[in-house]
């Protein structure tokens, strides 16, 4: 039996819970900034198993990725070209192997309501997702969850744009192919989703279909694309816990991701110093409770790039232009300060313009990307992890 004191304590604690403000969600601590490795790759590649490809066996793609030093790739063939059975086509191809490049399992989910890419560290029953492509979104979401895969909206503003609810996806292809200007509307959709509380990772994908012909006689009209749009245009960087396929998929889901026009361009890392001690303690993709105090942000260009270049950093806050800065050519960094609202959601992301670093393996990609060098995922405040 409860003592009178215990009874009072029980009543008090339950009334405290009921009266607690519900505005700020419970947010787990930010993961370590030090434990991990940056991995670069491409999340949207078509091999010969897609009927609209040419001269592109898997071996050609994988050798290219190995020679260019990529860490991971996803070969994402159109599932409708093999009646949903990518498992016995793209994944069982004897060429589907590499000693140095992590190969994700996936496909381009190719439906009448648009396209999405599926990513997994291990084989899964893709046919189940293919079979529900014309069902209601809630049913599709249930199948996706039961498969344990990552689903991503493809080329959301272009032809065959993703026409399903964004509640069923974990990421969005904000940078499709080296042709940067066609992605402007994808960025608008991304910002709308972010503003509405969806913590959706932005990623890249070359959507390349065409390999270099082995002989001039094998050339087709689209073969010219092989010199401009192939593995790494753009390149998606992931800060993964370790060098494994699962860590790549997890990083993609968590948003510790940035995208560069090509692998020889620098990578932009957006970090924030929450407590003002001069040490950066969160990065893009991370979500923290806003304290109501000013926060210093740092955008840093890392690796590659043009020596001595000053890159133009445009900061987007909650979908609006917040400010523009140039990186210090000596350190590659630009800093800014702002106070995220103590109540309600805030996010900051950056877009980087500047001189395009040549990608000698794909000499015609540069001109298509223009000045667009890189973009970060957002740093988030007060986003509800359970949303
Ligand atoms: Zn597509
Ligand atoms: Zn595609």
Q: State mean pLDDT over 313-322.
A: 98
Q: What is the pLDDT of residue 6?
A: 46
Mean pLDDT rounded to a whole number for the chain? 94
Ligand nearest to the Cα of 153, by number: 1
Find the 241 Cα to ligand 2 centroid distance in Å: 28
Find the 118 Cα to ligand 2 centroid distance in Å: 11
pLDDT digits (tens, 9 = 90+) for 214-265: 999 999 999 999 999 999 999 999 999 999 999 999 999 999 999 999 999 9
Find the 159 Cα to ligand 2 centroid distance in Å: 11
pLDDT digits (tens, 9 = 90+) for 113-143: 999 999 999 999 999 999 999 999 999 999 9
Find the 80 Cα to ligand 2 centroid distance in Å: 12
Q: What is the pLDDT of residue 47?
A: 98
Q: State mean pLDDT over 262-270.
A: 98
Q: What is the pLDDT of residue 15?
A: 40
Q: Is the predicted pLDDT of residue 3 greater than 60, yes or no?
A: no
Find the 43 Cα to ligand 1 centroid distance in Å: 12
Ligand nearest to the Cα of 158, by number: 1
Find the 155 Cα to ligand 1 centroid distance in Å: 7
Q: What is the pLDDT of residue 132?
A: 98
Find the 77 Cα to ligand 2 centroid distance in Å: 7
Find the 108 Cα to ligand 2 centroid distance in Å: 6
Find the 186 Cα to ligand 1 centroid distance in Å: 14
Find the 271 Cα to ligand 2 centroid distance in Å: 32
Q: How many CB atoms lie within 10 A of CB 337?
A: 12
Find the 24 Cα to ligand 1 centroid distance in Å: 38
Q: What is the pLDDT of residue 158?
A: 87
Find the 158 Cα to ligand 1 centroid distance in Å: 9
Q: What is the pLDDT of residue 23?
A: 61
Ligand nearest to the Cα of 107, by number: 2
Q: What is the pLDDT of residue 14?
A: 42
Ligand nearest to the Cα of 206, by number: 2
pLDDT digits (tens, 9 = 90+) for 43-78: 999 999 999 999 999 999 999 999 999 999 999 999
Quick one: pLDDT band at residue 299, thresholds 50, 70, 90? very high
Q: What is the pLDDT of residue 12?
A: 42
Q: What is the pLDDT of residue 305?
A: 87
Find the 115 Cα to ligand 1 centroid distance in Å: 5
Find the 282 Cα to ligand 1 centroid distance in Å: 34
Q: What is the pLDDT of residue 240?
A: 98
Q: Is the predicted pLDDT of residue 17 greater than 70, yes or no?
A: no
Q: Is the predicted pLDDT of residue 110 greater than 60, yes or no?
A: yes
Find the 234 Cα to ligand 2 centroid distance in Å: 14
Q: State mean pLDDT over 206-211.
A: 98
Q: State mean pLDDT over 261-278.
A: 96
Find the 45 Cα to ligand 2 centroid distance in Å: 7
Find the 231 Cα to ligand 1 centroid distance in Å: 16
Q: What is the pLDDT of residue 10?
A: 44
Q: What is the pLDDT of residue 20?
A: 47
């Amino acid at each position: 039996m409860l003592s009178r004191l215990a009874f009072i304590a029980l009543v008090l604690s339950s009334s405290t819970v009921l009266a607690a403000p519900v505005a700020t969600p419970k947010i787990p601590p930010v993961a370590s900034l030090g434990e991990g490795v940056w991995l670069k790759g491409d999340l949207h590649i078509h091999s010969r198993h897609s009927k609209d490809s040419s001269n592109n066996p898997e071996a050609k793609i994988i050798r290219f990725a190995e020679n260019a030093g990529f860490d991971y790739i996803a070969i994402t063939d159109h599932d409708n070209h093999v009646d949903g059975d990518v498992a016995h086509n793209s994944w069982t191809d004897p060429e589907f192997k590499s000693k140095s490049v992590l190969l994700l399992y996936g496909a381009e989910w190719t439906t009448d309501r648009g396209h999405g890419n599926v990513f997994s560290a291990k084989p899964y029953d893709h046919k189940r997702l293919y079979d529900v492509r014309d069902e209601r979104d809630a049913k599709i979401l249930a199948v996706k969850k039961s498969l344990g895969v990552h689903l991503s909206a493809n080329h959301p503003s272009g032809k065959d744009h993703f026409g399903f609810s964004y509640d069923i996806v974990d990421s969005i292809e904000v940078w499709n192919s080296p042709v940067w200007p066609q992605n402007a509307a994808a960025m608008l959709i991304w910002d709308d989703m972010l503003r509405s509380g969806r913590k959706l990772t932005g990623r890249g994908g070359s959507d390349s279909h065409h390999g270099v012909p082995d002989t001039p006689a094998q050339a087709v009209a689209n073969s010219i694309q092989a010199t401009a749009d192939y593995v790494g245009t753009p390149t998606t960087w992931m800060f993964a816990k370790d060098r494994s396929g699962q860590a790549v998929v997890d990083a993609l889901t968590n948003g510790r991701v940035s995208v560069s026009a090509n692998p020889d361009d620098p990578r932009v890392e957006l970090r924030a110093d929450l407590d003002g001690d001069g040490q950066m303690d969160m990065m893009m993709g991370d979500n923290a409770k806003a304290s109501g105090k000013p926060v210093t942000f740092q955008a840093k260009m890392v690796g590659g790039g043009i020596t001595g270049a000053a890159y133009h950093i445009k900061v987007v806050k909650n979908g609006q232009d917040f400010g523009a800065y140039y990186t210090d050519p000596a350190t590659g960094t630009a800093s800014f300060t702002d106070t995220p609202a103590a109540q309600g959601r805030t996010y900051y992301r950056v877009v980087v313009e500047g001189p395009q670093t040549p990608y000698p393996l794909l000499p015609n990609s540069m001109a298509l990307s223009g000045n667009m060098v890189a973009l970060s995922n957002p740093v988030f405040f007060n986003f509800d992890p359970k949303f």
